[in-house]
Structure 1
Amino acid sequence: MGTYRIHRISQDTTSGFPSHTGPGTELLLAQLYACEEQLHAWLDRSEENAAFFTADPVAAMRAANIGMDEEALQELASVLAGIQRKLV
């Protein structure tokens, strides 16, 4: 599986993501960017960490204790739930 960098996603205007962002989106992107290297290091520590993240990204990020606050994690959970609804 490839490695994705959050700063590339957040700056990509041709990715097909809608340009409208909710009130928590800027906070979420800022925290994801700030914690990105710590998250990658945690994911690289074990296959179990990577599998946990694949199964439940928000719970895995809580367990990784990478410095994201609960408000940002809740916003991430909301975004992921919205994506999941659209894919079903």
Structure 2
Amino acid sequence: MDWMAWTWPTATFFAVIATLLIVFTVLAIRFPETPRVGILRIETTRGDRLFITLLGSAFINLAWLGVVGAGQPYALVVCLIYAAAVFRWV
């Protein structure tokens, strides 16, 4: 894997994403969910809300880098608040 220039933050990021996918797969098997309608007025499941959260977090981080530049851990706090809101109301 020398061609990818892995760093600890990169490896941690992909490990967290893989862990989330595994956890949500186990949750879907153990506790089947019926889709619900939130503020977006579309039916969403846990997996849909996870995807919306990951996509939105990517945009939050990109905007943070473009506007603020440094202090990326603060963007993580914003992303966690965003994730909580998505899973609560979407």
- TM-score, reference length from structure 2: 0.37
Hey, which of these two has a bigger chunk of strand by percent?
2
- TM-score, reference length from structure 1: 0.37
Q: Which has the larger radius of gyration?
A: 2
